[in-house]
């Protein structure tokens, strides 16, 4: 199953990360481990706390990739090229020109 991914670069150290867009199949099957492996500790902890309820299993797969992408953009990551910038714009993400 193909998924759309966008590459983002940290302007400070040049680290490039791929952020998937849309439904998170990995979150559906692996729960909080997806966030943990992406080094997104806050969302991993929240999903782990909510695990006794069914919320993470039925809601987070629909919203997690968007939350992860917003956190990367909020941390200063920028699209690596114009194609990535246009893809983010079509998905409703505001991207600066820096």
Query: Rounded mean pLDDT of 54-70?
Result: 88
Q: What is the 3-state secondary structure of 19-61? A: EECCCCHHHHHHCHHHHHHCCCHHHHHHHHHHCCCCHHHHCHH
Domain range summary for the chain, segments of one domain joined by +: 24-90
Count, in order, helices (H) and strands (E) of the chain.
6, 3
CA–CA separation, 98 and 7 (whole Å): 15
Query: Rounded mean pLDDT of 76-98?
Result: 87
Q: What is the reported pTM?
A: 0.86
Q: How many CB atoms are located within 10 Å of the residue 93 CB?
A: 16
- Nearest alpha carbon to residue 33 among 64, 7, 67: 64
Instruction: Return mean pLDDT, the chain.
Output: 89
Is the pLDDT confidence value at 1 over 70?
Answer: no
Where does the pLDDT of residue 73 fall: very low under 50, low under 70, confident under 90, or very high at 90 and above? Answer: very high
Task: Please tell me the predicted confidence (pLDDT) of residue 51.
Answer: 81
Burial class (CB in 10 A: 0-12, 13-18, 19+), 34: buried
């Amino acid at each position: 199953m193909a998924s759309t991914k966008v590459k983002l670069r940290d302007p400070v150290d040049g680290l490039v990360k791929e952020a998937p867009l849309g439904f998170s199949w990995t979150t559906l099957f692996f729960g909080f481990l997806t966030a943990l492996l992406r080094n997104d500790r806050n969302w991993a902890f929240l999903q782990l706390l909510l695990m006794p309820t069914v919320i993470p299993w039925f809601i987070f797969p629909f919203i997690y990739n968007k939350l992860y992408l917003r956190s990367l953009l909020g941390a200063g990551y920028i699209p690596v090229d114009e194609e990535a910038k246009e893809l983010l714009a079509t998905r409703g993400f505001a991207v600066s020109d820096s």
